[in-house]
Amino acid sequence: MARRQETGGGLSTAEYLERQEVRMHLRNLQEMHNNAYKQRKDKWFEKNPEQQYFSPTLEETRKDCRLEEWLWYFVSRIFDRTPQQRFQDERHPSYGWNHKSNVHSIEEPCKEGCRFWNKEGRIEDIEVLEDYKDYNRYQEVFNVWSEQ
């Protein structure tokens, strides 16, 4: 049996190394995002030399945003909030209005049949992924993610 070496925080060496490896992958992912974002931005300024600020339209973003870029946005959102926290965020949006719903308008109070009728709930990772459905290579990521 491998001897358990404490490295602080109650982690064994193996656990510590695993976390370091995960951190390294996350840093790589972030770096790939930074590069892809910079390339998209530089190209955009070549096409729009009169513009002072990077302000692509939603259509341009969907068309030009590469997998490396939006995958990082998606992964950060997944790590940032639990499914329960996401539900609360959408149930009580920070801008002070009511939540978006399929069964009532933003002005109306919540009613039965609304997704947010119950006080507790979850917004799953796969639902966050669906926000990127118009982006490049979405279907490939969706297929891989659903296999897990």
Residues that bind Zn ion in the complex, under the rule CB under 5 A: 101, 110, 114, 116
- Using the minimum distance from each CB to Zn ion, give the nearer residue, 77 or 99: 99
| HSE toward the beta carbon, residue 13, CA cutoff 13 A | 4
- Shortest CB 124 distance to Zn ion, Å: 19
State in angstroms the smallest separation of the CB of 83 from Zn ion: 18
Please, what is the minimum distance in Å from the beta carbon of residue 121 to Zn ion?
Answer: 11
Phi/psi at 6 (nearest 5 deg)? -80, 140
Nearest to 32 by CA among 4, 66, 77, 82: 66
**CB of 93: closest distance to Zn ion in angstroms?**
11
Helix axes 138-147, 67-80, angle to 10 degrees: 40
For Zn ion, give the closer residue by CB, 63 or 92: 92
Phi, psi dihedral angles at 62 (to 5 degrees):
-60, -40
Cβ proximity to Zn ion: between 56 and 101 the closer is: 101
Which residue number, 63 or 100, has a Cβ lying nearer to Zn ion?
100
Nearest to 116 by CA among 80, 92, 94: 92
Beta-bridged to residue 12, according to DSSP, are: 6
